[in-house]
Structure 1
Amino acid sequence: MTIPVQPKDSRGYFMLPQAPEQAGYYLYGTVGHVPGTGHLAQYAHPNLLTLIFQIERKWQAICDRKFGVGNISIDGGKEYDKHKSHQLGIEVDCRPVRKDKLTGQVARCSYRDKTYDGEATTSLIRLFVQHPWVKIVFFNDPAVQKALGQGRVSSLKGHDDHFHVNLWPGLAR
């Protein structure tokens, strides 16, 4: 019997497990807007994988909805889709929490949408910013920034429909 091995890239980074049973997260994203390619952009430094798994467990203890995990980095950390970031395996995009339980590619929502749950999104982002490995989160909802403190959560163009978590760069060594 062969035991399947989690895919590993040329840096030795592992792909985020793709939709494991009972996971507290769902996956979304594409590379080059090609359907079915999101997994190619989910290679993470071991510290980022650890963080995602820790947040997932804490999130499941407070909410029965899954959170969306998108782009991390592609094999070898090459630039793609105009991402100047997402090359070190220490950055991850996540979707804001929806009021319904919709998941997957179709679950995109902006902080301006009626389906957006600002309170739950604030709680989820709080789990990230409380972790000492997290340097900053980019998300454009002013209410989240006010609740969690600018400097920890800041605006960045293009971050209305997802938040971007950056770990401290020294953790990528």
Structure 2
Amino acid sequence: MQRGVPIQPKDSRGYFMLPQAPEDAGYYVYGNLHHVPGTGHLAQYAHPNLLTLIFQIEREWQAICDRKFGIGNISIDGGKAYDKHRSHKKGIEMDCRPVRKDKLTGPAARVSHKDDPVYDQEATICLIRLFVEHPWIKIVFFNDEKVQEALGARVKTLKGHNDHFHAELWGNFA
């Protein structure tokens, strides 16, 4: 019998929810579930290996940049399908926002690579490079062709990925 408040919420698979507001973290969280404001945390259950990767990348990111990067959808409790996601069921996929030139974070910090004056392409390349150079990352989807040219074949185009990139671990984790 469990007593008290759990340290970190766990889903039915035993996956942990991404910590939502850790002090001095290199990331912030955003998003919502079923278009309901304030519910993004319900779609942020991650396989332990994805959490490890997130924590490694956010520390590396903090060493090179003083801005935070945004983490959105991962998976919901039990890995059920939700909203428009065909993936995001195994807890090994995550969505992240491109980097902004300003330091805006949170729900209002959405930015697109298409003609958005606050989009920082150079910093976004640096951030995505941290993902694609990690051996656990299988693929990244992001529609900025210059990012794809700079980072190679593991960054590909996928409809709907102008204002966020999707990073996915190799499937042998789950």
Q: Tell me, yes or no, whether TM beats 0.5.
A: yes
Q: Confirm or deny: 8 A CA contact 1:16 1:49 kept in the other structure.
A: yes
AA aligned to 2:12 is S
SS at match of 1:49: helix
Structure 1 gap ranges (5+): none
Aligned identity (percent) is: 77
Q: 2:151 pairs with 139, 148, 151, which one?
A: 148
Distance in 1, Cα, partners of 2:69 & 2:28? 6
- Whether 1:125 aligns to 2:128 is yes
Give the equivalent residue in structure 1 for 2:105: 103
Distance in 1, Cα, partners of 2:21 & 2:122? 25
Q: What count of residue pairs does the alignment treat as equivalent?
A: 171
Distance in 2, Cα, partners of 1:65 & 1:157? 27
Distance in 1, Cα, partners of 2:156 & 2:23? 33
Give the equivalent residue in structure 2 for 1:64: 66
SS at match of 1:166: strand
Distance in 1, Cα, partners of 2:68 & 2:111? 14
Give the equivalent residue in structure 2 for 1:13: 15
Distance in 2, Cα, partners of 1:107 & 1:30? 14
Distance in 2, Cα, partners of 1:82 & 1:22? 32
Structure 2 gap ranges (5+): none
Deviations 1:81-116 (A, max 9, x none): 021100000000000000000000000000021110
Q: Confirm or deny: 8 A CA contact 1:133 1:171 kept in the other structure.
A: no
Q: 1:92 pairs with 69, 91, 94, which one?
A: 94
Q: When the two structures are superposed, what TM-score results if normalisation uses the length of structure 2?
A: 0.96
Q: When the two structures are superposed, what TM-score results if normalisation uses the length of structure 1?
A: 0.97
Q: Confirm or deny: 8 A CA contact 1:25 1:56 kept in the other structure.
A: yes
AA aligned to 1:119 is E
